[in-house]
Chain A
């Protein structure tokens, strides 16, 4: 009886993973297809790299990718700074005035439908420009500010959950030894939460790089990010160079994730071994 339930859930897991990966694999396979008809395999002339060549010589796509990278770098960095401040405040400061407001405003953007966030941010930028003459029009600046806002929520959650996992005794010990709060933060707290900050930064970078809906609202007529260019292309139907782009992105992301997982595993192993050695030395 016990095994029958295990078999059921395992079968579901296998089918679920197939469901998750078949679309991605199909994009990868058809990116090497010679035919423009995308889903009809032209076995006489495939596999071919011609869509990759076409992709890299497409100035619009390369330009948009470059803009997206610059925005994502800035947005992820801004989101990490603000998200870390929020995470520290929520996890370490106990009750303070504005705490409920702050925690409410950090969790809400995670689930908020993007059309609403996008609309509200644009209307705010317009009102701000009327009021103080800044920001002048929409563009990379308004996109970056918006991305920082919705990405910092994710960083906050990651940092906060890392911080509540540690007890405060280390920080208290440093305080007792006379360290100033800023010193405690940079010498004790920050090293503890560095892994969370790094994964928060990567998450923010990915979210910013990938965002379409909010960006469409706050981008001006002149600035098109990569998702905006892809969206206008695929709205007209499938196009083979988008498959090539997807393949490149999937390869980059999976290499990054697998490398970081292996690295973290190695770090944990090394720490465990050090702890064992230390314990052995104490005997």
Chain B
């Protein structure tokens, strides 16, 4: 009796979230995929049905024009490649800044460690939008950085920094840095210090010991942190909208413009599928890492 009860209960516990995620996560993607093959039309919703009824049987009418369109207009490919470049460069910067920070936190004593971790996490809890907005005030022509540099006599004319690639890198690195530091920290903190002592006893200098022992061991943390930065950065919308160039859009902005400005839902869906194609392998890598991390704690 208890066994039957148990199984029914378990089915319910796993079944409810499974149903929810199927309805609100998986099926929506299938709908995006479907609409990316539909033809746009002036109606509500603004796309033609994918299936035609012929003698009582549904017959799909796939329309590849949306994808073809993306490859004929250089705007889309440009935005796509630019987004991949921005995400890649930002990820590298995050890694270069975040690694030494995570290293220093992992080597601090336990009181400092708690305080430092809290200081890393705190900005993450305050509004993402407002933190990006703060950079407008710092970077603009009569902003804080230019004013300070002019006051110090380092420059005489304000340096244009807003609406540039540089501003986008700053914005993305700034908002995603905690996502790089936390997985790196949780990896570095688990390292066995006796390995480094052994290396030192065998005559390795700390530089060599770092590159031969610490760095290879921290590869899982590097991968997890990089994926947590790279994948969302490709589709980033807020940072380039507030800080970025007006003559070069990122692909997330293109998607949203197609949807809101041009009301071309099929092309917006095709753009979404294209972004996903670039990200499906990194996302699977991330899932693999996440699963291993959670199981390793056992």
Contact = CB atoms under 8 A, between A and B. Distances in A.
Interface of A: 1-2, 4-6, 8-10, 12-13, 16-17, 19-24, 26-27, 30, 37-40, 82-83, 85-86, 88-91, 93, 96, 98-99, 101-116, 119-121, 123-124, 126-127, 130, 145-146, 148-149, 152, 156-157, 160-161, 164-165, 180-182, 206, 209-210, 212-213, 216-217, 227, 230-231, 234-235, 237-238, 242-243, 245-246, 249-250, 253-254, 257-258, 261, 265
A13 B100 contact: yes
B9 A9 contact: no
Contacts of B265: 123
B232, B290, B297, most chain A CB atoms within 10 A:
B290
Contact of B10 (A12, A89, A102): A89
Most A Cβ at <10 Å: residue of B16, B45, B136: B136
A119 B129 contact: no
B174 A2 contact: no
B280 to A, nearest CB: 10
B128 A210 contact: yes
A12 B45 CA distance: 53
B122 A254 contact: yes
Contact of B24 (A112, A149, A209): A149
Interface string B1-28: 0100110011001101110111111111
A12 B144 CA distance: 23
B86 interface: no
Interface of B: 2, 5-6, 9-10, 13-14, 16-18, 20-29, 31-32, 35, 45, 97-98, 100-101, 103-105, 107, 114, 116, 118-123, 125-131, 133-138, 140, 142-144, 147, 174, 177, 205-207, 210, 227-228, 231-232, 234-238, 241-242, 252, 255-256, 259, 265, 268-269, 272, 275-276, 279, 282-283, 286-287, 290-291, 294-295, 297-298
Contacts of B26: 105
A83 to B, nearest CB: 8
B20 A27 contact: no
Counting from the closest, the 6 A-B pairs by CB-CB distance are A113-B235, A12-B100, A120-B28, A23-B134, A124-B28, A13-B104
Contact of A12 (B104, B122, B125, B238): B104
B295 to A, nearest CB: 7
B136 A234 contact: yes
Contact of B6 (A37, A107, A112, A181): A181
A186 to B, nearest CB: 12
A166 B177 CA distance: 30
Contacts of A82: 16-17, 20
A257 B206 CA distance: 37
A3 to B, nearest CB: 9
B48 to A, nearest CB: 14
Q: Which of A99, A119, A160, A181 has the most CB of B within 10 A?
A: A119
A124 B234 CA distance: 23
A160 B291 CA distance: 11
Q: Which of B22, B97, B133 gathers most chain A CB within 10 Å?
A: B133
Contacts of B272: 115-116, 119-120
Nearest to A211: B128
Contact of A250 (B24, B101, B121, B126): B126
Contact of B290 (A26, A107, A115, A130): A107
Given A111-B286, A124-B27, A180-B2, A24 B241 contact: no
A52 to B, nearest CB: 15
Residue of B45, B118, B122, B241 contacting most chain A CB atoms (<10 Å): B122
A40 B16 contact: no
18 contacts: A23-B137, A24-B134, A37-B142, A40-B142, A40-B147, A105-B18, A107-B286, A110-B228, A111-B279, A119-B272, A123-B35, A213-B256, A216-B256, A237-B136, A242-B133, A249-B126, A253-B122, A254-B126
A9 B107 contact: yes
Nearest to B143: A39
Contacts of B283: 108, 111-112
A89 B133 contact: no
A113 B236 contact: yes
Given A113-B236, A116-B255, 19 more contacts: A2-B206, A5-B210, A23-B135, A26-B138, A39-B144, A82-B16, A85-B13, A86-B14, A113-B252, A113-B279, A114-B232, A116-B272, A148-B24, A156-B17, A180-B2, A217-B259, A234-B133, A245-B130, A265-B114
A51 B261 CA distance: 33
A13 B116 contact: yes
A121 B238 contact: no
A213 B140 CA distance: 24
